[in-house]
Amino acid sequence: HWPCGHSVLPDNSFWQTHYGLAPVLAATPIGSGHIHHTYKLVTGRGTYIAQQFNTHVFQHPERIHHNLR
């Protein structure tokens, strides 16, 4: 949900507002994707994976939602 083309993670207020996550203590890139950016987020309540979809390639990411596990 954060803007395509921005490889910098949003600040803590974004994660708290949109996902209800506790402050992000650490964010580590996972892999070196050419289409998407993937990050491991560590918070006070757990560890999460966040992926920034490239909306230039996938113009309607909601259509592939069924692929999530």
Task: Give the tens place of pLDDT for each residue, 17-61.
Answer: 877 887 888 888 888 766 777 888 898 889 999 887 777 777 777
Nearest 5°: CA angle at 67, between 64 and 69? 140
Q: Is 25 helix (H, G, I), strand (E, B) or coil?
A: strand
β-bridge partners, 28: 40
Q: What is the pLDDT of residues 4-19, one digit of tens each?
A: 455 566 777 877 887 7
Identify the band that residue 1 occupies on the pLDDT scale cut at 50, 70 and 90: very low
Order the strands of the 46-52 sheet from edge to edge.
24-30, 37-43, 46-52
What pTM does this model have?
0.62
Q: What one-character-per-residue DSSP string does 32-54 give?
A: --SS-EEEEEEETTEEEEEEE--
Per-residue pLDDT of 32-42, as tens digits, reads: 766 777 888 89
Task: Write phi, then psi, for 28 (nearest 5 degrees).
Answer: -120, 125
